[in-house]
Structure 1
Amino acid sequence: MNQPTRAASGSAAPFDPWSAAFVADPYPAYAELRATGRAHYFEPTDQWLVPHHTDVSALLRDRRLGRTYLHRFTHEEFGRTAPPPEHEPFETLNGQGMLDLEPPDHTRIRRLVSKAFTPRTVEQLAPTVRRLAAGLVDDFVAQGGGDLLTAVAEPLPVAVIAEMLGIPESDRAPLRPWSAAICGMYELNPSEETARAAVRASLDFSAYLRELIAERRGNPGTDLISALIAAHDEGERLTEQEMVSTCVLLLNAGHEATVNTTVNGWWTLLRHPGQLAALRADHGLLPSAIEELMRYDTPLQMFERWVLDDIEIGGTVIPRGSEVALLFGSANRDPARFPDPDTLDLSRQENPHITFGAGIHFCLGAPLARVELAASFGELLRRAPGMRLVAEPEWNPGYVIRGVKELRVEL
């Protein structure tokens, strides 16, 4: 087996996540990565890039990897530097959410949250989602179009999560800015300015939620926060910090991906007029179309995990203490798994995309995301059948959570 020296590792030359051209279209680079190896060391971020669907899918389920290592090692034992003390508010908030925990804590928290966030909860919310989507699209149509991102894609999932959590409408304005600031830390090598913004947002969001939780303890309702307070299992309950972190995770994960799937999806459709015409002619294609749009242009391009015990990928040993970057966008275009992967096929039936992840960290909100996407795409297909692009969009600089700055259309 090859040892993981930099000389022996596959070349990651085409991978350039800080390049505007790469962010706009990373798929040719992914094809080159897949063609030249199964694991590529990328020195600028000290990560191993994994581009193949089979490997990504397997590693998402592999218990030798974790979203954290602190359940087994100290920073020093793992060969990593502890975050600076001034980042502590963000680290605490992020570190107590399910997405960045491993068993046994992850198991306990996910079990408790699942008691509140049930399929029945999502089912009961569906009429509210459709009502909110219809209202936003009504306004959009009345204005003759505009920026689809700010008019429909962004406000819908924020409103849905706020409704679920029981956040009053008058309190919702800061939610999207808080979320955007916190999610800035998920990009590669975030700047200190990004970290300061995330810390401020973490403090403000946490303080707001603690007040709301205290109010719900005394006056419970039918909202998700009240259900999280009440959730228990064999005497176990969520701590206040776990509840705060869960609420923030639900907002961040529950809308960032949905926003970008909506806008990137419409940008994709508008560039594929034949497929768009087929969808407009047959709205029954919508369920498979949504899955295909999530596969074709994945909103979360990369998912990172720590190597807790040595692993081997394609003959290369990746030692404990390393970080792997699972390239979701590449895996979803892998010709070994998808016939004609670079072809948009809204009627594609077998579509094992990994946009929602896999294993114990599979997205808890996937059913809700599908309800939201079906509602917004459905309303726009019905109410704006002649929607067309005004100008080619510009991409945000972020690569991990990838989306355009705006999508200006006319009706």
Structure 2
Amino acid sequence: MPEPADLLDLDDPEVVADPYPALHHLREHAPFAWHEGLHAHVATGHEQVSAALRNRSLGRIFTDREPAADWSTFNWLHADSILDSEPPKHTRLRRLVAGAFGRGHVARLAPRIEKIARELVEQAGDGPFDLIDAVAEPLPVTVIAELLDWPQADRHLLRPWSQAIVKMYEVSPTPQEQAAAQQAARDFAEYADALADHRARHPGSDLLTDLVTARDAGDRLSRRELVATVVLLLNAGHEASVNGLGNGMHSWLTAGAPAVDTDDEGATESLVEEMLRHDSPLHLFERTATQDVVVAGHEVAKGEKVVVLLGAANRDPAVFADPDVFDPRRSPNPHLAFGLGIHFCIGAPLARLEMQQAVRALLSAHPPLEVRDAVRRPTFVLRGFERLVLAPA
């Protein structure tokens, strides 16, 4: 008889399209269980996922892809990033990056984010428009490009590079996707390295300049660490906003768009938190045991992986009343969309701000809206839409 977790087939198109029935079944029968296909323990309950994310004996250990000659740049972009390192390296990197990231850049951008969001919504026009193409994708890419002061003429390169690289986070990337990720990693790293060199000679008031000069007690980011940080800021930083806004608007509108006063800052914040919870942009995060450890009452041997399913945890009825119902007034809302523990998303405040401003702009220009067409991306780990056509109701 198969283990309960093995009944979760992440290659099944029906599960990818709507994972929640399968996740509910697994969480109900085995909130922490071994999955032979993934060769990992799988955590689906909110308690179990939280325990795994908080456990310091479960590390974010990046394993180099082979052959090394083909994956060299891709490998070091991950090995030298905050996301795929552990203390003491992670502590040093996060301190340096957070110091640069926290020097008022996000706060100063708030009015600019509002302006960009309103301009994008206005450009979408009064008729049906694709939310992903018109607003969800260009907004965070524009914002992170302005944070880094990325050359305007080359900003169109960022999204394709990012999309190619993040496809490697899915369960079964194709050979074509692997080749595209290798090339995108090389091109992205080469460009970011050259831009950092230029910014070192011609400093400005942007985030990239701060990263170039980031120091702490005589320490600084190495050349590769700086490039890996820039790539991570785009890849991880904007994917949450793109998918969070698309998934969230779809959830809200197909639930009948329960009334929200977007002039009320607290109400808008609550709406965005429910968007992140109800259909999370990131569904799977992987950790590896650095020693024998007990997680949520289960033994995990050194070297074994633990896969946490964030979308399952965010619909756990033990924590969220009527978890499948979209409730924009839900409080409290302890969702795990941005993770937990030392790897909590460093860009979460920026992603939240982008989503809040986009929602306000959309509802200010088009109250109310309805979904006319929706096409899901065929991915499980990073869950989102390829196309989401909205129109005034």
TM-score range (shorter-chain normalised) is over 0.9
Alignment partner, residue 269 of structure 1: 252
**C-alpha distance in structure 2 between counterparts of 1:358 and 1:256, whole Å:** 18
1:119 deviates by 6.4
CA contact (8 A) 1:47 1:323 kept: yes
2:238 to 255, 260, 268: 255
**C-alpha distance in structure 1 between counterparts of 2:56 and 2:196, whole Å:** 34
Alignment partner, residue 303 of structure 1: 285
**C-alpha distance in structure 2 between counterparts of 1:326 and 1:281, whole Å:** 33
1:91 deviates by 0.7
Alignment partner, residue 398 of structure 1: 379
1:35 deviates by 1.5
Q: Structure 1 residue 110 and structure 2 residue 94: aligned?
A: yes
**C-alpha distance in structure 2 between counterparts of 1:136 and 1:294, whole Å:** 22
1:147 to 121, 130, 134: 130
TM-score (norm 1): 0.91
Alignment partner, residue 38 of structure 1: 31
1:44 deviates by 2.0
CA contact (8 A) 2:52 2:295 kept: no
Alignment partner, residue 360 of structure 1: 342
**C-alpha distance in structure 1 between counterparts of 2:92 and 2:295, whole Å:** 31
1:283 deviates by 5.0
After the TM superposition, which residues 125-274 of structure 1 pair with which residues of structure 2 at under 5 Å, given as runs?
125-142=109-126, 144-273=127-256
Alignment partner, residue 294 of structure 1: 276
CA offsets, 1:168-198, max 9 Å, x none?
Answer: 2111011000000110111113233222111
CA contact (8 A) 2:51 2:296 kept: no
**C-alpha distance in structure 2 between counterparts of 1:186 and 1:279, whole Å:** 35
SS of the residue 2:294 aligns to: strand
Count matched residues: 390
**C-alpha distance in structure 1 between counterparts of 2:262 and 2:118, whole Å:** 20
SS of the residue 2:286 aligns to: strand
1:281 deviates by 8.0
**C-alpha distance in structure 1 between counterparts of 2:205 and 2:103, whole Å:** 15
After the TM superposition, which residues 14-25 of structure 1 pair with which residues of structure 2 at under 5 Å, given as runs?
14-25=7-18
Gaps in structure 1 of 5+ consecutive residues: 1-6, 70-74, 76-80
CA offsets, 1:18-37, max 9 Å, x none?
Answer: 22211121111111111112
SS of the residue 1:205 aligns to: helix
SS of the residue 1:354 aligns to: coil
Runs of 4+ in structure 1 over 6 Å off: none
1:375 to 353, 357, 372: 357
CA contact (8 A) 2:65 2:75 kept: no
1:388 deviates by 1.9
Query: Which amino acid is the alignment partner of residue 90 of structure 2?
Result: H
1:45 deviates by 2.1
Gaps in structure 2 of 5+ consecutive residues: none
Alignment partner, residue 49 of structure 2: 56
**C-alpha distance in structure 2 between counterparts of 1:241 and 1:277, whole Å:** 47
TM-score (norm 2): 0.95
SS of the residue 1:49 aligns to: strand
**Identity in percent:** 43
**C-alpha distance in structure 2 between counterparts of 1:387 and 1:271, whole Å:** 10
CA RMSD of aligned residues (A): 1.7
1:82 deviates by 6.0
Q: Structure 1 residue 345 and structure 2 residue 327: aligned?
A: yes
CA contact (8 A) 1:158 1:175 kept: yes
CA contact (8 A) 1:270 1:388 kept: yes
**C-alpha distance in structure 2 between counterparts of 1:223 and 1:119, whole Å:** 10
1:297 deviates by 0.5
1:280 deviates by 5.8
CA contact (8 A) 1:141 1:384 kept: no
SS of the residue 2:299 aligns to: strand
